[in-house]
Amino acid sequence: MSGERRTEARILEVASRLFYERGYKATTMRALAKGVGIEASSLYHHFSDKQAILVRICLDGMQGFYQEALERIEGVDDVRERLRALIVWQVVAEARHPYAGRIADEQMHALNPKSRKQLIALREDFEALIDDLLGEGQTQGIWHLSHPRVIRLGLIGMCKVEHWYDKKGALTAEQIGEIYATFILQALAYSR
């Protein structure tokens, strides 16, 4: 990775942490520059303004998350195993990028209208992926769900481990994902 790309990655890393801790509006370009260890004017070499940084964190983060989710379930035939892979992936992704998801959730209002619309569309695509899996399992008679949307919302919320996950804890993110996946799949099977 070139020096310029490393600096850009560092800017995004520091911005994610500061937007998470202070909020988008309360984070200044000066504070960002100080956190990165560069002059404020140097930030503008990488990003036109603070909005461009927020857009990059939210949209690139969600796009990467969604693409990786698709890759995780590609070629997996059994709907239960696809749902398991998706659950494990969400837990791992939330643990690896603890700020990006929260920023997208909590600072969405600060995005410009075009970017907000793109972020919402990406979220809806991810939600549709889960809805499709839940619907496929229902069609196959694997589970019966009277309120699939509620199940989807609960599943997504459960996998948001970034609030409490500790890399130094007794379990890896993958292990936690497997525990959650087993729990959810057993609960779905019980709903038949």
User: pLDDT per residue over 31-86, tens digit each?
Assistant: 999 999 999 888 999 999 999 999 999 999 899 999 999 999 999 999 999 999 99
Is 61 found in the same domain as 43? no
Residues 124 and 143 in one domain: yes
Number of domains comprising the chain:
2
Separation of alpha carbons 74 and 176, rounded Å: 22
What are 84-139's pLDDT values in tens digits? 999 999 999 999 888 888 898 888 999 999 999 999 999 999 999 999 999 999 99
Residue 123 class from Cβ within 10 Å (0-12 exposed, 13-18 middle, 19+ buried)? middle
110 in a structural domain: yes
Asked whether residue 105 falls in the same domain as residue 139, the answer is yes
8 A C-beta contact, residue 19 and residue 54: yes
- Report H helices in 23-112: 29-36, 40-46, 50-55, 61-73, 79-96, 100-106
Coil/strand/helix, residue 65:
helix
Proportion of the chain above pLDDT 70, given as a percent:
99
Please, are residues 82 and 73 in contact by the beta-carbon 8 Å criterion? yes
Q: How many Cβ atoms sit within 10 Å of the Cβ of residue 155?
A: 22
Instruction: Give the whole-angstrom CA distance, residue 171 versus residue 173.
Output: 7
Give the type of residue at 52.
A
Say whether both 35 and 124 belong to one domain: no
Domain that includes residue 90, residue range: 57-190
Contacts of 50 (CB under 8 A, 6+ apart): 24, 27, 29, 32
Residue 20: give its domain's CATH number.
1.10.10.60
Residues 120 and 26 grouped into a single domain:
no
In this structure, the answer to whether residues 33 and 70 fall within a common structural domain is no
159 belongs to a structural domain: yes
Nearest C-alpha neighbor of 117 from the set 55, 47, 51: 55
Q: Cβ(180)–Cβ(90) under 8 Å? A: no
Judgement on whether residues 42 and 61 belong to the same structural domain of the protein: no
C-alpha distances (whole Å) from 129 to each of 67, 87, 160 are: 11, 12, 17
Are 124 and 176 found together in one domain?
Answer: yes
Same domain? For 132 and 92 the reply is yes
Same domain, 97 and 156: yes
Kindly state whether residues 141 and 76 are assigned to the same domain.
yes
Is 70 exceeded by the pLDDT of residue 192? no
26 occurs within a structural domain? yes
Domain membership flag for residue 52: no
Whether residues 43 and 94 share a domain: the answer is no
